[in-house]
Amino acid sequence: MSLSLFEPISLGSLTLKNRIVMAPMTRSRATQPGNIPNNLMAEYYSQRASAGLIITEGAPISPVARGYSLTPGIYTEAQITGWQKVTQAVHERGGKIFIQLWHVGRRSSTAIEGLQPLAPSALKEPDKVYGPMANGELGMIDTTMPKAMDLSDIQNTIDYFVIAAKNAMLAGFDGVEIHGAHGYLLDQFMRRYTNQRNDQYGGSIENRIRLTVDVCNAVANAIGSDKVGLRISPFVSSSFQQHDSEMPKLTLTLLKALAPLHLAYLHLSENIGNYQPISDSFRKQMRLLYPHPIMLAGGLTQHSAEQLLNQGFAELFAFGTAYICNPNLVEKMAENLPLNTLPNDAHNTFYGGGKEGYTDY
């Protein structure tokens, strides 16, 4: 008998009503000043509460962790209070919700918070970020040369992740997802071309995964490992960077180190941007080293997700773009109804703005 996406699954003490997950997506609707979650965001997430699990957009864990304007933080009392509106709205509709804890590392600009970005090494990010332009409007701006983190910066960062996780519990979240993917801080530490350190956090594979493992351990100890997920994207690289040939080996080393923690899940982002496909043989290696729940995201369809589920490669499947214009995605999939597709001008409503393209789809 084949497994179904619509069957419940337990993550530690938490039971999800299905295996369909709303993937984290930056939407930049927080209220200024203060980057505070608001009623519009509560409506947006509650509309999608039929998902087995919602993972919020990335929430910066501190001012220096922020790399994009209008993203809701999780480090002030006002932000905690704002998020309480979101979690209450989702829970009232029977949903479960994790917050994604975010530190962008070098992918930031001093113009956003008046702070120099932090990174493993003093290497400038060649991409642009969403922030205040010279004319006072928001748009894509150049990044700033980061400061290479010293050991006190690293310890402070671990502490900020822990404080943010505790704040998330106060805000009513069911758990947290640590963002270790897509070229942000933890991913920067794991990759050779962004980590040129020669201390215990650089050089060897074991050293380059150390911060990710340290953060996961610290957060798990603070709120319980069954309330902690980790997102990684080892086979996705920035369009301007070559793939790191050591990432397959690093990934397996990381999974072996994390397996004893019994995290809620490992979230693998794949098949987007400049990516390399993951072979079935590598997925089998991952499964041998990591027998706990795995979540996949990136270019999935209902059919491909069900195939991966029944091959035993993953238990949870996250959908991003489809959730922008199909808040009732679970119901549509269950009834084999056609999905709405994004119009050509949808990108204009991805970041910033009001209800259009957000709650009014």
Amino acid of residue 183: G
Tell the burial category of 63 from Cβ atoms under 10 Å away from its Cβ (0-12, 13-18, 19+).
Answer: middle
Kindly state the helix (H) or strand (E) to which residue 18 belongs, with its residue range: none
Beta-strand relationship, 175-180 and 97-102: parallel
- For the chain, where are the E strands, in sequence order? 9-11, 14-16, 20-22, 53-60, 97-102, 118-119, 128-132, 138-142, 147-148, 175-180, 228-232, 236-237, 265-269, 274-275, 294-297, 316-319
Distance of CA 60 to CAs 73, 104, 324, Å?
Answer: 5, 8, 22
Nearest alpha carbon to residue 26 among 321, 307, 274, 284? 321
Angle between helices 210-223 and 247-258 in degrees, nearest 10: 30
Tell me which of 184, 265, 290, 351 is the catalytic residue. Answer: 184
Does residue 184 have an active-site annotation?
yes
Residues annotated as catalytic (active site), given as ranges: 184
